[in-house]
Amino acid sequence: MENKIKKCSFKKHLEVDAIKYCLECKINLCNKCINHHSELFDEHHLFNLDKNGNEIFTGYCQEKKHNIELEYFCKAHNQLCCAACITKIKGGGNGQHTNCDICFIKEIKDEKKMKLKENIKSLESLFTKLEQSIKELKNLFKAINENKEELKFKIQRIFTKIRGALNEREDEILLEVDNEYDKLFLKEDIIIESEKLPNKIKISLEKGKLIEKENEKNIKLNSFINDCINVEKNIKYINEINEKIEKCNSNKDIVIKFTPDENENDGINQFLKTIKTFGKIFNNNESMIKESKIISIIEFNKIQNWLNSSIGNVKRYELIYRATVDGDSNSVLFKKCKNIPNLIWIMKDKNNNIFGCFNSIEINSNNSYSKDSKCFLYSINKNKKYNPNLNIINNIYNCESHVIEFGNNSKFEFVVGDKFLSSNSVTFTNGEIFNHNLEICNYNTPVSLVELEVYKIIQS
Question: Which of 357, 287, 279 has its CA nearest to residue 318?
Answer: 287
Q: Which residues of 217-238 are buried (b: 16+ CB within 10 A; e: fewer)?
A: eeeeeeeeeebeeebeebeeeb
Residue 54: the pLDDT is 57
Q: Nearest 5°: phi and psi at 341? A: -85, 170
- Taking the CA atoms of 245, 249, 250 and 253 in sequence, report the sign of the dihedral they define: positive
Residue 234 has a pLDDT of 81
- Distances in Å between the Cα of 456 and the Cα atoms of 68, 91, 196, 209 are 69, 68, 80, 96
What pLDDT does residue 1 have? 39
Q: At what angle do helices 188-215 and 221-250 cross, to 10 degrees?
A: 150
DSSP helix, strand, coil percent of the chain (3-state; round to 5): 45, 20, 40
Kindly state the helix (H) or strand (E) to which residue 359 belongs, with its residue range. strand 354-359
HSE (CB half, 13 Å, CA atoms) of 311? Answer: 22
**Tens of each residue's pLDDT in the chain, 460 residues:** 345 678 899 888 988 888 888 877 888 899 889 988 988 898 888 888 866 555 567 788 877 777 788 999 999 999 999 998 988 877 776 788 888 999 999 999 999 999 999 999 999 999 999 999 899 889 889 988 998 999 899 999 999 999 999 999 999 999 999 888 887 776 667 777 777 777 777 787 787 787 777 766 666 777 778 878 888 888 888 888 788 778 777 777 888 888 777 666 667 777 787 787 777 666 655 555 567 889 887 788 888 889 988 888 787 888 999 999 999 888 898 889 888 999 999 999 888 889 888 989 888 777 777 888 888 889 898 888 888 877 776 667 666 666 677 766 555 667 777 888 888 877 777 666 666 666 676 556 778 889 999 999 887 6
H/E stretch holding 103 reads strand 102-104
CA pair distance 453, 323, nearest whole angstrom: 7
DSSP 190-228: HHHHHHHHHHHHHHHHHHHHHHHHHHTTT--HHHHHHHH
Residues in the chain: 460
Question: Which residues contact residue 365 at a Cβ distance below 8 angstroms, ignoring those fewer than 6 apart?
Answer: 334, 338, 398, 399, 400
